[in-house]
């Protein structure tokens, strides 16, 4: 780690990837925002000065395309979604210090200022490039107005992104076999002058930067391929009306009009100045220029509201800030190559860390907004579930960079076993015991008349419990410095687990008569543990932990506490506690699953009746059918001995790469504890190979070796179904562990 551990003396800025103002939010979308909220709250608990900001991404072609479909202006369309998002986040206790949008004045001005600086520093140049053009519609085709084949992997791709294949950013002119999405006709390439940002001039800088960058390993490793290869300059302008004008355009409008006639615009469309095929007067900035600038603009707006004494955006962004970007893994390249280059070129500080989350699936398959195969954010709340339950599920179900599957049944299991069974159970039983026997926190000061002078942090708490709370704080802190909200979030759950074990082992209910002093001490310890849980679990479950805080008789907000408060004595008296978490019944899960299935079926039958026009889906989706024909269960039984002949082991993928010439095969290096194995698996097209490293898998270790496409396969990866859903472990079994 090249940076000082948190908490530092610097102001920190935690940002969340801007939601695109183009649709409704489902619970899968919430993952990065929940992660960002937990991370920023955790930093504050550590005592770090922190601003948590984001905003809606209003520009770009998807908004323009959809607004046109609805017959409204792009601004109206995007603002409607922006307002919806702004209202939805707080309902999930996601509380940004500032939530702006990219079309507001602050962001417009700041973006133009940054581009002007880049230009003044010599990082911007003009170049004539081929741009897709639809002759029938008489219109340029930026980004999503054009589709075709990815020049890198051949997959079907959109104009600016290979969204179904290698996930690369695509420059204008790169897409092969271009088709206009306006008319469905083949598009032409025509020469057109555009502005470029010379990212390649910053290659040396970026190579050093990536070595310093912290965060999740996908965000630190994936960009190396781009940064160490031939770095492309980015075209930063588009032929569109919707967006932020290229700065200085109004002053030079006359010149560009002149250019226009010179560069030989198409004959016959002189009457229509709005879609003139050349000249730079109608260029707007590419959406990926102004979108990340919103991180800075939003921080600036926060400062304007609270004052620079509370948080100084200029110190954070131009001098010595610890900037942490929390994003989905599909936009790693933008945040680790393009954006740091822009910041560097314009004289801003570089990001300290990028945390890139994995995707989220629903019952093992992709969310599909067009099929209504989703649990919508509003719907979750309308079903009466507390937001903190979902926050806990999303934050702690897997590592941040791993894909997470949501199902109502898994959700129920984790809520019931961990939140109800572990955390809720400990809090309720210990506080109820304290209330009934001591009307609050037992007074054990007489037992500790000496200890209070020994410098103990929690004078009235037993040494064992004090040490265990210290350990929980260390785990919490380590989680933050490892950029793992799962680790920091689990610190409190593990403390509650200890609490249950502690109360069970010491049986205070037996001691109340035999040894009241000992009983008082045990309960005093438990109340302190409860208070420590309130402090450490607050970032994950702010609503529930505020309720606990009040149950403990504490004043104010847990948000204003820090880790040291975990050792402060709780108030002497408190009332009868109430259970904080409620069990989810099996019937409820069945009901929710049925609702989901019915809705998907309804949407599918509706779309069957419609003109069969395949609706574009914004999500990573699979085409798997809802009703699968399962293979019949095998009739022949095998003996336990026969089963035991299989040597099945837990492994961890070290590396994964495609095998040249084989469409479906990937070569995996798998650590199985005793050794590393090379295994060939048919998962090339079904998984993002770059993100597999670090994943736990299950393999058959004693299968005969085989040769596939000239590559030896020494073992078999277990995976379910046609989609090759890779088997993994539920707990922490280490590589090499035998599966039995």
Segment interacting with Zn ion, rule: CB under 5 A, options 143-151, 385-393, 414-422, 539-547: 143-151
- Per the CB < 8 A criterion, the answer to whether 110 and 300 are in contact is yes
Name the minimum Å distance from CB 535 to Zn ion: 47
369 appears as a binding residue in the annotation: yes
Least gap, CB of 689 to Zn ion (angstroms): 13
Helix (H, G, I), strand (E, B) or coil at 245: strand
User: Least distance (Å) from Zn ion to the CB of residue 171?
Assistant: 13
524 in Cβ contact with 441 (< 8 Å): yes
Q: Which is nearer to Zn ion, 11 or 148 (CB)?
A: 148
Among 118, 162, 362, 492, binds Zn ion (CB under 5 A): 162
- CA-CA distance, 66 to 615, in Å (whole number)? 12
Instruction: Choose between 150 and 431: whose C-beta lies nearer to Zn ion.
Output: 150
Q: Which is nearer to Zn ion, 153 or 733 (CB)?
A: 153
CB of 615 to Zn ion, least distance (A): 23
The reply, when asked if residue 162 is annotated as ligand binding, is yes
Query: Of the listed pieces 159-167, 207-215, 461-469, 653-661, which binds Zn ion according to CB under 5 A?
Result: 159-167
From the list 164-172, 375-383, 394-402, 509-517, the region that binds Zn ion by CB under 5 A is 164-172
For the record, the structure tokens of 497 come out as: 């687990």
CA distances from 267 to 138, 253, 530 (A): 11, 21, 77
Given the rule CB under 5 A, which of 35-43, 154-162, 464-472, 507-515 is the region that contacts Zn ion? Answer: 154-162
Q: CA 577, CA 367: separation in Å to the nearest integer?
A: 39
Site for Zn ion, residues 294 to 333, rule: CB under 5 A: none
Is 150 marked as binding a ligand?
Answer: yes
Q: What is the DSSP string of 292-360?
A: HHHHHHHHHHHHHHH-TTT--HHIIIIII-EEEEEEEGGGHHIIIIIHHHHHHHTTPPPPSEEEEE--E
Does 111 belong to an annotated binding site?
no
Helix (H, G, I), strand (E, B) or coil at 440: strand
Q: How far is the CB of 162 from Zn ion (least distance, A)?
A: 3
Contacts of 578 (CB under 8 A, 6+ apart): 428, 551
**Residue for token pair 């310890």:** 525
Cβ(273)–Cβ(281) under 8 Å?
A: no
CA nearest neighbour of 569 among 456, 430, 435, 441: 441
Nearer to Zn ion, 394 or 620 (CB): 620
86, two tokens: 């702004």
> From the CB of 691, what's the least distance to Zn ion, in Å?
15
From 58-66, 166-174, 251-259, 543-551, give the range in contact with Zn ion by CB under 5 A: 166-174
The residue among 222 and 561 lying less far from Zn ion, judged by its C-beta, is: 222
Considering the complex, what minimum distance in angstroms separates the CB of residue 683 from Zn ion?
A: 17
In the complex with Zn ion, which residue's Cβ is closer, 155 or 600? 155
Q: Which is nearer to Zn ion, 72 or 155 (CB)?
A: 155
- Report the run of H or E that residue 68 belongs to, with start and end: helix 61-70
**β-strand pairing of 237-239 with 214-215:** unpaired
DSSP state at residue 735: T
Asked if 149 touches Zn ion (CB under 5 A), the answer is no
| Nearest distance from C-beta of residue 255 to Zn ion, angstroms | 38
Out of 79, 129, 137, 153, point to the residue binding Zn ion (CB under 5 A): 153
Shortest distance, position 618 Cβ to Zn ion, whole Å: 18
Those residues whose C-beta lies under 8 Å from the C-beta of residue 579, and which sit 6 or more positions away, are 424, 428
Closer of 295 and 338 to Zn ion (Cβ):
338
Name residue, tokens 């000061």. Answer: 445
With beta carbons less than 8 A apart as the criterion, state whether 458 and 533 touch: no
**Chain position carrying tokens 């859903």:** 725
| C-beta closer to Zn ion: residue 589 or 659 | 659
Applying CB under 5 A, does 165 fall inside the site for Zn ion? yes
Member of 152, 189, 205, 376 binding Zn ion (CB under 5 A): 152
**Residues 98-137 as x/- pattern, contact with Zn ion by CB under 5 A:** ----------------------------------------
- Tokens 């998962």, residue located: 683
Question: Which range, of 152-160, 191-199, 476-484, 539-547, touches Zn ion by CB under 5 A?
Answer: 152-160
Distance, CA of 521 to CA of 507 (rounded, Å): 12
Least distance from C-beta 151 to Zn ion, angstroms? 8
Give 155 or 655: the residue with its C-beta nearer to Zn ion: 155
**In the structure encoding, which two tokens stand for residue 408, read together?**
């109502």
Q: Between 542-551 and 387-396, two packed helices, what is the crossing angle to 10 degrees?
A: 120
Eight-state DSSP code of residue 605: H
Q: Does 166 bind Zn ion (CB under 5 A)?
A: yes
Q: Which residues contact 473 (CB under 8 A, 6 or more apart)?
A: 491, 532, 536, 563, 566
* Candidate residues 150, 175, 199, 362; the one interacting with Zn ion per rule CB under 5 A: 150
CA distance 420 to 604: 37
Contact region with Zn ion (CB under 5 A), list: 158-166, 190-198, 312-320, 435-443: 158-166
Query: Residues 441, 584: contact at Cβ < 8 Å?
Result: no
Which range, of 165-173, 274-282, 378-386, 598-606, touches Zn ion by CB under 5 A?
165-173
CA 678 to each of CA 615, 703, 734: distance values in angstroms, whole numbers, following the listed order: 41, 13, 18
Closer to Zn ion at the Cβ: 166 or 718?
Answer: 166
Binding residues for ATP: 369
Binding residues: 150, 153, 162, 166, 369
Binding residues for Zn(2+): 150, 153, 162, 166
Which spans of this chain sit near Zn ion (rule: CB under 5 A)? 150, 152-153, 155, 162, 165-166
């Amino acid at each position: 780690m090249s940076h000082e551990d948190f908490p530092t003396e610097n102001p920190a800025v935690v940002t969340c990837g801007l939601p695109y103002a183009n649709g409704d939010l489902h619970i899968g979308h919430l993952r990065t925002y929940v992660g960002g909220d937990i991370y920023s709250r955790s930093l504050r608990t550590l005592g770090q000065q922190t601003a948590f900001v984001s905003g809606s991404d209003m520009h770009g072609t998807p908004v323009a395309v959809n607004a046109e479909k609805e017959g409204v202006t792009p601004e109206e369309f995007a603002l409607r979604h922006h307002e919806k998002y702004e209202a939805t986040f707080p309902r999930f206790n996601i509380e940004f210090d500032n939530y702006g949008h990219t079309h507001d004045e602050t962001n417009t001005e700041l973006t133009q200022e940054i581009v002007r600086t880049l230009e003044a520093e010599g990082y911007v140049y003009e170049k004539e490039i081929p741009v897709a053009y639809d002759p029938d519609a008489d219109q340029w085709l930026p980004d999503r107005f054009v589709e075709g084949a990815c020049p890198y992997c051949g997959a079907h791709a959109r104009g600016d992104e290979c969204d179904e294949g290698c996930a690369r950013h695509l420059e204008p002119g790169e897409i092969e076999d271009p088709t206009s999405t306006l008319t469905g006709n083949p598009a032409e390439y025509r020469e057109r002058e555009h502005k470029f940002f010379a990212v390649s001039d910053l290659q040396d800088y970026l190579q050093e930067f990536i070595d310093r960058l912290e965060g999740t390993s996908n965000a630190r490793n994936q960009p190396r391929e781009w940064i160490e290869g031939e770095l492309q300059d980015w075209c930063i302008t588009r032929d569109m009306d919707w967006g932020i004008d290229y700065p200085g355009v109004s002053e030079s409008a006359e010149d560009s009009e002149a250019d226009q006639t010179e560069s030989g615009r198409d004959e016959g469309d002189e009457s229509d100045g709005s879609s003139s095929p050349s000249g730079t007067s109608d260029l707007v900035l590419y959406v990926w220029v102004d979108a990340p600038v919103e991180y800075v603009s939003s921080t600036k707006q926060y400062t304007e509201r609270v004052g620079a004494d509370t948080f100084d955006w200029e110190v954070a962004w131009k001098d010595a800030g610890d900037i942490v970007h929390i994003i989905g893994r599909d936009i790693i390249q933008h945040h680790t190559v393009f954006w740091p280059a822009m910041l560097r070129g314009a004289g801003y500080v570089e990001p300290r860390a990028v945390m890139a989350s994995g995707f989220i699936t629903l019952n093992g398959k992709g969310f599909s907004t067009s099929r209504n195969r989703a649990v919508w954010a509003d719907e979750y709340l309308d079903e009466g579930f507390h937001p903190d339950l979902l926050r806990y599920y999303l934050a702690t179900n897997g590592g941040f960079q791993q894909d997470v599957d949501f199902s109502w049944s898994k959700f129920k299991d984790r809520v019931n076993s961990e939140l109800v069974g572990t955390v809720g159970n400990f809090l309720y039983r210990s506080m109820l015991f304290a209330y009934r026997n001591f009307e609050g926190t037992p007074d054990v000061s007489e037992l500790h008349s000496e200890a209070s002078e020994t410098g103990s942090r929690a004078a009235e708490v037993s040494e064992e419990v004090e040490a265990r709370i210290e350990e929980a704080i260390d785990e919490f802190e380590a989680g933050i410095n490892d950029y793992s909200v799962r680790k920091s979030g689990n610190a409190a759950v593990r403390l509650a687990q200890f609490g249950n074990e502690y109360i069970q082992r010491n049986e205070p209910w037996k001691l109340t008569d035999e040894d009241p002093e000992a009983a008082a001490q045990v309960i005093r310890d438990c109340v302190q543990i409860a208070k420590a849980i309130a402090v450490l679990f607050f970032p994950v479950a702010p609503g529930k932990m505020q309720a606990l805080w009040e149950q403990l008789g504490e004043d104010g907000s847990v948000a204003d506490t820090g880790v040291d408060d975990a050792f402060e004595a709780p108030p002497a008296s408190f009332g009868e506690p109430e259970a904080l978490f409620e069990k989810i019944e099996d019937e409820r899960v069945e009901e929710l699953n049925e609702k989901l299935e019915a809705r998907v079926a309804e949407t599918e039958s509706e779309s069957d009746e419609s003109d069969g026009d395949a609706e574009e889906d914004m999500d990573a989706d699979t085409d798997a059918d809802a009703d699968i024909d399962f293979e019949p269960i095998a009739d022949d039984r095998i003996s336990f001995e026969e089963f035991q002949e299989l040597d099945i082991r837990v492994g961890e993928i070290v590396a994964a790469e495609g095998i040249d010439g084989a469409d479906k095969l990937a070569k995996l290096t798998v650590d199985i504890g005793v050794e590393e194995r090379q295994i060939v698996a048919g998962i090339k097209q079904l998984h993002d190979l770059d993100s597999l490293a670090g994943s736990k898998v299950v393999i058959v270790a004693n299968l005969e070796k085989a040769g596939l496409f000239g590559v030896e396969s020494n073992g078999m990866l277990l995976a379910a179904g046609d989609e090759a859903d890779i088997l993994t472990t539920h707990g922490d079994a280490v590589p090499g562990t035998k599966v039995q």
